[in-house]
Structure 1
């Protein structure tokens, strides 16, 4: 989610690799398709976490864009929890 425009429109940035001269995606950077702002992943996430904390302290509801299943992001929380259990992460 873009910290600037609050849209679910961040995509991995693509640059030309100087050695292979091919387009490669950067894991550490994203670009908002709506406002065209570039973000370092960690910085954008930190800003979103800060904003959510400030809104919670002020007594405001969580913005819909940050809720599961909102704005085209269908997420089945129970199914994801089941997937984690299937991976045998707890059997150590």
Structure 2
């Protein structure tokens, strides 16, 4: 992966992470860096899932791929928030 691919993955990850965080209701107790990390991971996994179902490369905007990525980011943000909000003993 070249530098353009890395930069675009980070930018797309930021967008996906923020959109995923907006989908989850309520206040999330995770930071910006965790949101970006979840977004990057969701973007990569979502691209792989979309390619596996052959909906990744279409003419125009890949809406199905975006929805998969945002859904995965929302799941990731919710799971990370749930794991961090447990009471400490």
Larger CA Rg, structure 1 vs 2: 1
Instruction: Please say whether Structure 1 and Structure 2 have the same fold, judged by a TM-score greater than 0.5.
Output: no
**Structure 2-normalised TM-score?**
0.30
**Structure 1-normalised TM-score?**
0.30
